[in-house]
Amino acid sequence: MNAEQGEQFEHEQDLPAPSYPELQPERMQIRRQHLLSEVDRQNRARSRRSAPRLRRRMVLVLGTAVAAGAAVIVLGVGSGAPSGPGPVPPASAASVQLLERAALAANAMPQKEARAGQYVYVKTVGHTSVLSENKDGQMDLLRENEGMEQWTSVDGSQSTLQRKEGKDSILPGSGEEGNLNSPTYSLLATLPTDPEALLKMIRDDAEKNHGAGSDSTTGPDQEAFVAIGDLLRSGAASPELTGALYRAAALIPGVDVAPDAVDAAGRRGVAVARVHAGERKEWIFDKSTARLLGERTVLLEDNAWGKAGTVVSSVALVASGIVDDAGHTP
């Protein structure tokens, strides 16, 4: 049994497959006309990793780092963003259509009502890749289990309970609504649901640390794509906001489709993806329901993290909901 098969969870949410209308060509064209016409390309050179211990960056539950890695060869991928300099193409027609289906699926879900004193519950399975310096000064590539359950205060006023491998940890509450990198349910409820306005807010935030003049090689477009993925997996976004996040992602240049992908729970689906610096970031959806299953990062080039085709980070969302007390499940 390989690592990916070993991550199969015992039961999945049984959700009916609602009927979604296909996106009409004229409506798709309207969406695509809103895409950014030009994007300044950032330096894609990968910085040397010199830290004694370096984790793959994947924020999951309201700002908590969670990810996964498994050596899997992936076939049948989308073209994604080009790896060299030059203009980035608009999001592909296939990705725009898939994201619209995901938005319609999200909009059909019931609203998760929450009040102060309650918690957002999320359960995930997955692994993350870690580079760790050994006693000889060399870097060893390790893989760590990052499956967890987490209970996060709706308004940030209470401590967060995190359960990993049967052990509980108490993380302090922020006392505030948080920010886009670590939001609370209360903060997400204030975000705009117009896709263009939402993307501008997310991209402006990304521009601060990843724009021109910064030391970042990620660039605001890739960082916006990553940030939207983090928000989608938070388990706290309303159906309306979730739909807006998918439609905002369709406005990011370079977004494409990977027709076959497997999440950390072993579920097969189709992925919306974006390529950057030799890596493909994927959001994996159920092919029938367009429901988000998880996210993973696949290497397209050999590097310190592994050979091309290696899944260096992967996380699957198993369950989420609103509960009255930390430690309880929906």
CA neighbor of 250 nearest in space, from 291, 283, 280: 283
91 vs 50, more confident: 91
pLDDT tens-digit series, residues 268-286: 999 999 999 999 999 999 9
53 vs 242, more confident: 242
11 vs 315, more confident: 315
Residue 110: burial class (beta carbons within 10 Å; 0-12, 13-18, 19+): exposed
Mean of the pLDDT values across residues 80-96? Answer: 75
65/46 Cα distance (integer angstroms): 21
pLDDT band at 52 (very low <50, low <70, confident <90, very high): very low
Q: What string of DSSP letters covers 280-321?
A: EEEEEE-TTT--EEEEEEEESS-BTTBSTT-EEEEEEEEEEE
- How high does pLDDT run on average in the chain? 77
50 pLDDT above the threshold of 70: no
64 pLDDT above the threshold of 70: no
Q: What's the confidence (pLDDT) of residue 304?
A: 85
Q: Where are the beta strands (DSSP E) in 160-305?
A: 160-164, 167-171, 178-179, 182-183, 255-262, 268-276, 279-285, 292-299
Which residues, at least 6 apart from 301, have a Cβ–Cβ distance to it below 8 Å?
Answer: 278, 308
Q: What's the confidence (pLDDT) of residue 213?
A: 61
Q: What is the largest CA-CA distance in the chain?
A: 61
pLDDT band at 81 (very low <50, low <70, confident <90, very high): very low
Q: What's the confidence (pLDDT) of residue 182?
A: 81
Q: What's the confidence (pLDDT) of residue 247?
A: 98
21 pLDDT above the threshold of 50: no
pLDDT tens-digit series, residues 182-204: 888 999 999 999 999 999 999 99
Q: What's the confidence (pLDDT) of residue 211?
A: 58
pLDDT band at 140 (very low <50, low <70, confident <90, very high): confident
The token duo for 45 is 């050179």
Question: 3-state class of 170 per DSSP?
Answer: strand
